[in-house]
């Protein structure tokens, strides 16, 4: 094959005075060059030694940035042919491209701020899909099961009332009856310790993370995010200028002892203790107490994301981490995206009392408040018992779908994917045999019309074992069985055709 010239990459800017680590700066610049099309798929990168010399950083810095990009699927390295931009980019990047209007891409010709460039190039998965999501897209509830007739009756009643409260500007902290309903619910169902005044309504968890990051963090402040963990949180913190470092997770949940050696002052830890995203483990009591004690000693906040704990199938709902906190360090976050509808964009925070007024004022500056009419209908939906009924119904439906998935995988994917039942949640991790690349498997699945995002996309570095995220909530047992058959055909086919190419983990 003809060798491409070892050309320098223009526009790689490194600012030695910036608090952002050099590795992150280099990683960000290269990723942006790939996303913007400056570095096309297959383009050859300069050797790390040459690049390091050119931009005035150490070779280790360049190697670490390359390794991170390779791990995330942007680069491929082969002995003898150097490092090249991956010929097919990770799925989540492709979906960002597919759904963005040209004006919001990074190479639009408009000068974006550094913050704007970070935001526009974040590789988060855009969840919107035309029509029904494909099996096994995760994060989707079954919206076709939502009792729209009840919702529209409640909405019509509210609009007919013509109440002035609903039609004019509202309280940035949220509609009071909804805050009361949520306080009642989380006290009972999640053992959260709170008064109504501590509840603030937000337009989804994503907005809550962004607002908290702006309110609590200065540029360069250190934040812990679980590894593997929720990309939505990781990139929201990063876009707010925080330095995000990994908080390792094992079978007992996130382990704060693993970062105790870190001498940097850590301001906040983002965790999913009830049902770790994406692995699905529950944080043990011992780990919870250690985390709370660490936060107290460090004067750090813990953001507890309780995104899907309403869906517990076998055991009783677990008490929240917030309920164990005596030092007011935990901020509890809930969302109605999975229990009602994601399109509503409604969620809430339970804040320590002294954070409510700063949050309320910040919200007033940034976007005022979430739409009051939807908040009012949601309050009625909860208070009149429809919420509890809907959750009960979806619990048994989703449990049945989880069983359908586990059975189908055991039957059709034996030896190719390993799954086991989980006490709760809306997705499972299908573990691949050791040595098999989950990004490769995900790409191969895509060719058979199956969406199964790779576990490694949620990780900071290399995982010991790859896996596929298999959402089951939005799919009927029939769709699940068909999806598993297509996935089996895809993985079997790839194994036979290209045993050492498409699926095998490439040594870096």
Residue 456 makes contact with ligand PLP by CB under 6 A: no
Residue 221 makes contact with ligand PLP by CB under 6 A: no
Find the part of the chain contacting ligand PLP (CB under 6 A) among 292-300, 335-343, 403-411, 497-505: 335-343
The C-alpha angle 311, 472, 370, rounded to 5 degrees, equals: 55
Residue 305 makes contact with ligand PLP by CB under 6 A: yes
Task: Give the interface size with ligand PLP as a residue count (CB under 6 A).
Answer: 13
Any residues with CB less than 8 A from the CB of 104 and at least 6 apart, and which? 120
Residue 307 makes contact with ligand PLP by CB under 6 A: yes
Residue 334 makes contact with ligand PLP by CB under 6 A: no
Query: How far is it, in rounded angstroms, from Cα 289 to Cα 269?
Result: 14
Q: For the chain, how big is the Rg over CA atoms in Å?
A: 23
Query: How far is it, in rounded angstroms, from Cα 357 to Cα 351?
Result: 10
As measured in angstroms, the least distance from the Cβ of 201 to ligand PLP is 12
Residue 309 makes contact with ligand PLP by CB under 6 A: no
Could you say which DSSP state residue 280 is in?
Answer: -
Question: SS3 of 494, please?
Answer: helix
Residue 335 makes contact with ligand PLP by CB under 6 A: yes
Find the part of the chain contacting ligand PLP (CB under 6 A) among 165-173, 204-212, 250-258, 359-367: 204-212
Query: How far is it, in rounded angstroms, from Cα 445 to Cα 482?
Result: 13
Residue 142 makes contact with ligand PLP by CB under 6 A: no
Could you say which DSSP state residue 344 is in?
Answer: G
Task: Work out which of 68, 122, 205, 322 binds ligand PLP, going by CB under 6 A.
Answer: 205
Residue 398 makes contact with ligand PLP by CB under 6 A: no
Find the part of the chain contacting ligand PLP (CB under 6 A) among 253-261, 334-342, 446-454, 455-463: 334-342
Query: How far is it, in rounded angstroms, from Cα 490 to Cα 493?
Result: 5
As measured in angstroms, the least distance from the Cβ of 428 to ligand PLP is 14
Find the part of the chain contacting ligand PLP (CB under 6 A) among 164-172, 200-208, 241-249, 357-365: 200-208
Q: Which of residues 257-286 bind ligand PLP (CB under 6 A)?
A: 272, 277
Residue 472 makes contact with ligand PLP by CB under 6 A: no
SS (H, E, C) 116-144: HHHHHCCCCCCCCCCCCCCCCCCCCCCHH
Question: SS3 of 251, please?
Answer: coil
Q: Looking at 309-451, list the stretches that DSSP marks H as alpha helix, in order from N- to C-terminal side.
A: 353-366, 372-383, 386-412, 438-447
Q: Where are the beta strands (DSSP E) in 232-272?
A: 243-250, 253-254, 266-271
Residue 347 makes contact with ligand PLP by CB under 6 A: yes
Query: How far is it, in rounded angstroms, from Cα 428 to Cα 311?
Result: 13
Query: How far is it, in rounded angstroms, from Cα 351 to Cα 329?
Result: 9
Torsion of Cα atoms, 321 then 324 then 328 then 330, to 10°: 0
Residue 185 makes contact with ligand PLP by CB under 6 A: no
Choice between 271 and 416, CB closer to ligand PLP:
271
As measured in angstroms, the least distance from the Cβ of 147 to ligand PLP is 20
Residue 471 makes contact with ligand PLP by CB under 6 A: no
Query: How far is it, in rounded angstroms, from Cα 378 to Cα 372?
Result: 10
Phi, psi (5° rounding) for residue 70? -65, -40
Residue 475 makes contact with ligand PLP by CB under 6 A: no
Residue 139 makes contact with ligand PLP by CB under 6 A: yes
Choice between 255 and 305, CB closer to ligand PLP:
305
Residue 342 makes contact with ligand PLP by CB under 6 A: yes
As measured in angstroms, the least distance from the Cβ of 496 to ligand PLP is 35
CB 474 within 8 A of CB 397: no
Residue 348 makes contact with ligand PLP by CB under 6 A: no
Residue 141 makes contact with ligand PLP by CB under 6 A: no
The packing angle between helices 353-366 and 205-216, to 10°, is: 100
Query: How far is it, in rounded angstroms, from Cα 365 to Cα 304?
Result: 25
- Tokens coding 150: 């009840």
Task: Work out which of 204, 241, 323, 471 binds ligand PLP, going by CB under 6 A.
Answer: 204
Any residues with CB less than 8 A from the CB of 8 and at least 6 apart, and which? 46, 50, 51, 54
CB 205 within 8 A of CB 337: yes
As measured in angstroms, the least distance from the Cβ of 204 to ligand PLP is 3
Residue 230 makes contact with ligand PLP by CB under 6 A: yes
Residue 337 makes contact with ligand PLP by CB under 6 A: yes
As measured in angstroms, the least distance from the Cβ of 213 to ligand PLP is 14
Query: How far is it, in rounded angstroms, from Cα 470 to Cα 408?
Result: 12
As measured in angstroms, the least distance from the Cβ of 433 to ligand PLP is 26
Any residues with CB less than 8 A from the CB of 339 and at least 6 apart, and which? 141, 310, 387, 390, 391, 394
Choice between 57 and 199, CB closer to ligand PLP:
199
Task: Work out which of 64, 122, 198, 206 binds ligand PLP, going by CB under 6 A.
Answer: 206
Query: How far is it, in rounded angstroms, from Cα 342 to Cα 329?
Result: 28
Find the part of the chain contacting ligand PLP (CB under 6 A) among 201-209, 255-263, 281-289, 485-493: 201-209
Choice between 428 and 436, CB closer to ligand PLP:
428
**x/- string (CB under 6 A) for ligand PLP, residues 44-83?**
----------------------------------------
Residues at the contact surface with ligand PLP, assessed by CB under 6 A: 139, 204-206, 230, 272, 277, 305, 307, 335, 337, 342, 347
């Amino acid at each position: 094959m003809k060798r491409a010239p070892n050309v320098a990459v223009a526009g790689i800017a490194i600012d030695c005075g910036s608090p952002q680590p050099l590795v992150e700066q280099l990683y960000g610049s290269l990723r942006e060059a790939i996303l913007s099309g400056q570095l096309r798929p297959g383009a050859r990168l300069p050797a790390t030694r040459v690049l390091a010399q050119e931009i005035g950083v150490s070779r280790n810095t360049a190697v670490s940035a390359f390794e991170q990009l390779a791990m995330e699927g942007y680069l491929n390295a082969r002995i003898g042919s150097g490092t090249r931009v991956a010929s097919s980019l990770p799925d989540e990047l492709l979906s960002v491209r597919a759904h963005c209007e040209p004006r919001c891409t990074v190479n639009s010709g408009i000068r974006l701020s550094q913050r704007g460039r970070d935001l526009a190039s974040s590789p988060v998965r855009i969840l919107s899909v035309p029509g029904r999501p494909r099996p096994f897209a995760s994060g989707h509830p079954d919206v076709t099961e939502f009792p729209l007739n009840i919702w529209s009756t409640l909405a019509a009643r509210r609009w007919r009332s013509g109440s002035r409260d609903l039609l004019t500007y509202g309280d940035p902290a949220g509609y009071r009856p909804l805050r009361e309903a949520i306080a009642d619910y989380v006290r009972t169902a999640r053992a959260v310790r709170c008064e109504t005044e501590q509840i603030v309504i937000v337009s989804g968890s994503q907005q809550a993370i962004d607002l908290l990051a702006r309110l609590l963090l200065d540029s360069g402040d250190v934040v812990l995010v679980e590894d593997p963990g929720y990309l939505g949180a990781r990139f929201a913190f990063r876009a707010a200028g925080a330095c995000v470092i990994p908080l390792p997770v094992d079978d007992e949940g996130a382990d704060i002892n693993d970062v105790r050696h870190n001498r940097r002052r850590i301001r906040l830890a983002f965790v999913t203790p009830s049902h770790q995203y994406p692995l699905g483990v529950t944080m043990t009591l011992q780990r919870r107490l250690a985390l709370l004690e660490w936060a107290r000693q460090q004067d750090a906040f813990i953001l507890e994301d309780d995104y899907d704990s309403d869906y517990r199938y076998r055991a009783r709902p677990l008490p929240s981490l917030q309920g164990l906190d005596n030092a007011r360090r935990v901020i509890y976050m809930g969302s109605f995206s999975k229990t009602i509808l994601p399109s509503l964009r409604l969620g809430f925070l339970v804040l320590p009392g002294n954070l409510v007024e700063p949050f309320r004022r910040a919200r007033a500056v940034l976007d005022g408040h979430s739409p009051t009419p939807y908040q009012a209908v949601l309050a009625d939906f909860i208070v009149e018992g429809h919420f509890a009924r809907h959750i009960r119904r979806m619990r048994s439906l989703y449990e049945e779908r989880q069983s359908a998935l586990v059975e189908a995988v055991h039957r059709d994917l034996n030896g190719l994917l390993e799954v086991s039942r989980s006490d709760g949640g809306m997705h499972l991790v299908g573990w691949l045999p050791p040595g098999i690349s989950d990004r490769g498997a995900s790409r191969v699945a895509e060719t058979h019309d199956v969406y199964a995002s790779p576990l490694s996309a949620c990780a900071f570095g290399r995982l010991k074992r790859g896996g596929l995220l298999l959402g089951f909530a939005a799919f009927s047992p029939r769709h699940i069985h068909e999806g598993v058959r297509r996935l089996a055909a895809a993985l079997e086919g790839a194994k036979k055709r290209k045993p050492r190419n498409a699926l095998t983990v490439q040594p870096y």
